[in-house]
């Protein structure tokens, strides 16, 4: 029986990988399973508009659309750095991630987490590979940091986690070639957004109960003050002539903030809950400034 050379084996494996662009990290509130409900709500003529996402997260909407022009931003610098590395040098990210995947175990996870938090002498590509590795192998795929900005999610007990997806990473890299990437807050849109832009807001959601808050993915949480600031930015961009869509919890506070805009309801799976029995369908709202 003939054995494949290493390069031939890699080529064969890549050929079997999916080639459609999709999120390369798990992300709280990711929209992958909501896309079938969100796509019909996109504005007419959206294909001709610049696609803007100020809370890009996993980028499910961006990757599903693969627009010819895009601006993707987030306040999480590690996330944006990973996007940069995958767009600009995906081969080195894959090489580093392959080495991490080969040695994966609980002990290795905590070693990588410690080195990642120290951050010294890491290339952008190695740091991006660590970011993806930790995301794929940590508990529930969460990204949470402490007050020092250190990633502190414990090990996730997965039987066979999908750490390396070469084809998926290469597809993401190709899709990102059309995107400008920035680490900035949603308020920066007031300086960069243009009339006719399509802007999709997917912010940290308002908690549906006093025990449901997920604080976390950046060093600072997202409070009701932040939700009000976001609503003010939404209103300013509406007056500018941008096409706007926003997702959030279906709660009275959020409905009141956007009461003068069109509100649709979608059914979403609730995936992040420490009690599996409380996971299931919940309603979310989609706010639009167009019919």
Mind listing the pLDDT tens digit for each residue in 200-210? 999 999 998 76
Residue 78 belongs to domain with CATH number: 3.40.50.150
Measured over the CA atoms of residue 111, residue 112, residue 113 and residue 118, the dihedral's sign is positive
pLDDT band at 4 (very low <50, low <70, confident <90, very high): very low
Q: Is residue 3 part of a domain?
A: no
Any domain includes 10: no
Task: Give the mean pLDDT of 128-140.
Answer: 96
Residue 5 lies in a domain: no
Model confidence at 12, in pLDDT bands (50, 70, 90)? very low
Query: Who's near 47: CB < 8 A, 6+ residues apart?
Result: 67
pLDDT at residue 120, rounded to an integer: 77
CA distance 137 to 157: 8
Q: Name the pTM for this structure.
A: 0.87
Is the pLDDT at 8 greater than 50, yes or no? no
Number of domains in the chain: 1
The reported pLDDT for the residue numbered 119 is: 81
Please give the pLDDT value at position 19.
Answer: 65
Query: In terms of residue numbers, what domain contains 237?
Result: 17-147+159-288
pLDDT, position 280: 62
142 pLDDT tier (thresholds 50, 70, 90): confident
> Is 108 inside any structural domain?
yes
Residue 28 lies in a domain: yes
Does residue 208 lie in a domain region? yes
- The reply to whether 6 falls in a domain is no
Contact residues for 171 (Cβ-Cβ < 8 A; gap 6+)? 18, 19, 20, 21, 22
Question: pLDDT digits over 74-121, tens only?
Answer: 999 999 999 999 999 999 999 999 999 999 999 999 999 999 999 878
Confirm whether 121 is domain-assigned: yes
């Amino acid at each position: 029986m003939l054995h494949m050379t290493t390069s031939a084996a890699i080529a064969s494996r890549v050929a079997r990988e999916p080639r459609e662009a999709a999120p390369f990290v798990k992300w709280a509130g990711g929209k992958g399973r909501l896309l079938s409900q969100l796509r019909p709500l996109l504005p007419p003529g959206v294909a001709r508009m610049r696609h803007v996402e100020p809370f890009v997260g996993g980028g499910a909407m961006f990757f599903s659309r693969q627009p010819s022009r895009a601006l993707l931003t987030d306040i999480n610098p590690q996330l944006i750095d990973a996007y940069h590395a995958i767009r600009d040098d995906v081969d080195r990210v894959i090489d580093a991630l392959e080495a991490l995947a080969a040695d994966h175990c609980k002990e290795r996870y905590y070693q990588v987490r410690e080195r990642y938090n120290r951050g010294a002498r890491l290339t952008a590509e190695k740091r991006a590979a660590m970011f993806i590795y930790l995301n794929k192998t940590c508990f529930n795929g969460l990204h949470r940091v402490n007050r020092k900005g250190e990633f502190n999610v414990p090990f996730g007990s997965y039987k066979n986690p999908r750490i390396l997806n070469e084809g998926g990473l290469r597809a993401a890299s190709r899709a990102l070639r059309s995107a400008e990437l920035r680490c900035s807050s949603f308020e920066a849109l007031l300086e960069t957004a243009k009339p006719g832009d399509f802007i999709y807001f997917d912010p940290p959601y308002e908690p549906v109960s006093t025990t449901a808050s997920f604080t976390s993915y950046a060093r600072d949480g997202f409070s009701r003050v932040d939700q009000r600031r976001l609503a003010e930015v939404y209103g300013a961009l509406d007056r500018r002539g941008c096409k706007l869509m926003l997702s959030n919890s279906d709660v009275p506070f959020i409905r009141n903030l956007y009461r003068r805009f069109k509100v649709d309801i979608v059914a979403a799976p609730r995936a992040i809950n420490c009690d599996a029995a409380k996971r299931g369908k919940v309603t979310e709202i989609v706010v639009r400034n167009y019919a």
